[in-house]
Chains A and B, each alone.
Chain A
Amino acid sequence: MKKNVELFKAVGAADEEMLTECKNAKPKKSRTIRFVALAASFCIVAVGALVWGNNYYNKPEQQPPTVSVSPDGVSIPKMQPNLSSDFAADMLAFFIYQGRCYVQYDSYGDNVFANDYAETYLGTSTGLIDEWTEKDGYVELAGSIATDFYTMKGYDPSFMLCSKENSMVFINNNGITLKKGADLFETRLHLNGNYASVDAQTRKAWYYDSAEAVEIVGQNDVLSQFVAALNEADFVPLSDIPYDKAEQTSVYDAAEIYHMFFNINNGITVHLRLFEGGYVSFSGINDVCVKLPDEVFAQTVNMLGQATA
């Protein structure tokens, strides 16, 4: 057996108390945010499965509705928060507001939005949902995080909200239909002409942290064409990306090649994943992607290759 596999197995002998401690671990507390005691990392809301996709399991009769395609576009079904021991997914900060489930997209640590971008106070989530919460606990303002949340200046509140604490951004990424790329990248994310810089990283560097993301400079035309193509392209389910399922276990291993980070003027980052074959997804909505024309994608990949070389 390989030495690293033996070490991996040896870690399995960690004391039970340490495992319990790990499962019960909470995010660092800030002065005002209270993250609830999410006691078991193995048993959290189905929303995690819808967002991150990889670690979801439940009984066959409880399979969540899947992404569907119609002439109107690709529909990501409305998430029905339902948490019990039958569900297993990843622990994510989320809350329910106006019947929509907002999931944490990113946290920027400093007060990027505190003064300028957190606009109208909408409510305070209770942070009382945990894996023992009964179904009738999934009510308005319930969630796994307790925080004041606000509209975000310039963004549709039915899509994006924010919290001043740690500059957290929350996205409602379900119950939506996306047809053209512009439905997301323009209407919701306002990408075009709204970014201060763009960074790039190879897949390997992103996973292994072997190299920092590098800024793409002097390529405004290529970037503009890339964004324009994003807006023009049609959405398809991420599962449409072809790869050899006999050889690889996920599309991220098989086809992902680059990461791009559009640093928006207000301080948030729009993180895109690029896949072989011309496919691009937004990391906040992992169920869908767009397919770019070959020529635009090729020149983008060429640009990224040069930037990250």
Chain B
Amino acid sequence: MNDKEIIELYWQRNESAVSESQKAYGAYCFTIADRILGSREDSEECVGDTWLHAWNAIPPERPNILSAFFGRIVRNLAIDSYAKRHAAKRGGGETALILDELAECVGSEETAESAFDCAELEKSVNRFLQSLPQRERNIFLARYWFAESQKEIALRFGAKEANIKASLFRSREKLKTQLEKEGLI
């Protein structure tokens, strides 16, 4: 079943939309969640919740790229789940490393309410991504969107791991500079 047909099932409020989504994107969504959570049980729960969120969002939404739509939902659910799980203690795994790296840009202070205007922050991040050279942007997204390890990225991009680390470091410096320039930090 292709993406259009799956989306049509959601619009028809046909419950097989969920099973078809699971069939087509279950493994994909699980991989995204598992990279962040490192827990099969929690990741499966996030994937299950993803279909519920999609059910509530479509209609009215009609996603252009279903993988990105589902991916974004499951990613947010996994990050929330990770943040709750690790609220009291220092976490481990790839996500902890990723968050430490991102802390270089904005710090890691806990704030009672959101420290940012979320919409502005998202727009700024998008502008930053647009400004990056294509390869550097792909490496940045592989790390900070898809939560791939630096080793995985090196293999995928056919580069030495040290080069990937250097690229990510440069990108974080650029992001930090942009966020400072735009008054977000």
A binds B: yes
Residue of A nearest to B24 (CB): A85
B157 and A27: CB pair below 8 A? Answer: yes
A contact residues around B158 at 8 Å (CB): 27-28, 35, 93, 107, 166
The complex places the Cα of A11 from the Cα of B124 at a distance, in Å, of 10
Binary contact track A197-215/B, C-beta < 8 Å → 1, others 0: 0000000000111000000
Residue of B nearest to A103 (CB): B155
Does A296 interact with chain B (Cβ within 8 Å)?
no
A12 and B92: CB pair below 8 A? Answer: no
A7 and B105: CB pair below 8 A? Answer: yes
Does B93 interact with chain A (Cβ within 8 Å)?
yes
Does A87 interact with chain B (Cβ within 8 Å)?
yes
B152 and A52: CB pair below 8 A? Answer: yes
A238-257 residues at the B interface, CB under 8 angstroms: 247-250, 253-254
Does B11 interact with chain A (Cβ within 8 Å)?
no
B32 and A42: CB pair below 8 A? Answer: yes
B107-123 residues at the A interface, CB under 8 angstroms: 107-111, 114-116, 118, 121-122
Within the complex, the shortest CB–CB distance from B136 to chain A, in Å, comes to 11
Count how many chain A residues have C-beta atoms less than 8 Å from C-beta atoms of the other chain. 57
B125 and A14: CB pair below 8 A? Answer: yes
Given contacts A5-B99, A55-B31, contact A253 B93 (CB under 8 A): yes
Count how many chain B residues have C-beta atoms less than 8 Å from C-beta atoms of the other chain. 77
Does B126 interact with chain A (Cβ within 8 Å)?
yes
A104 and B155: CB pair below 8 A? Answer: yes
The complex places the Cα of A231 from the Cα of B176 at a distance, in Å, of 48
Within the complex, the shortest CB–CB distance from A54 to chain B, in Å, comes to 8
The complex places the Cα of A7 from the Cα of B106 at a distance, in Å, of 8
Q: Which of A8, A28, A253 contacts B98 (CB 8 A)?
A: A8
Given contacts A42-B28, A209-B169, A249-B39, contact A57 B99 (CB under 8 A): no
Given contacts A14-B125, A57-B30, A250-B93, contact A4 B155 (CB under 8 A): no
Does B72 interact with chain A (Cβ within 8 Å)?
yes
Within the complex, the shortest CB–CB distance from B71 to chain A, in Å, comes to 7
A15 and B129: CB pair below 8 A? Answer: yes
Which residues of A are in contact with B by a Cβ distance under 8 Å? 1-16, 18-23, 25, 27-28, 35, 40-43, 52, 54-55, 57-58, 85-93, 104, 107, 109, 166, 207-209, 247-250, 253-254
Within the complex, the shortest CB–CB distance from A193 to chain B, in Å, comes to 27
B65 and A16: CB pair below 8 A? Answer: yes
Q: Which of B38, B93, B106 contacts A4 (CB 8 A)?
A: B106
B91-105 residues at the A interface, CB under 8 angstroms: 92-93, 96-100, 102-103, 105
A86 and B146: CB pair below 8 A? Answer: no
A3 and B103: CB pair below 8 A? Answer: yes
A11 and B125: CB pair below 8 A? Answer: yes
> Among A8, A54, A247, A253, which residue has the most Cβ atoms of chain B within 10 A?
A8
The complex places the Cα of A16 from the Cα of B65 at a distance, in Å, of 7
B146 and A5: CB pair below 8 A? Answer: no
B121 and A10: CB pair below 8 A? Answer: yes
Residue of B nearest to A21 (CB): B138
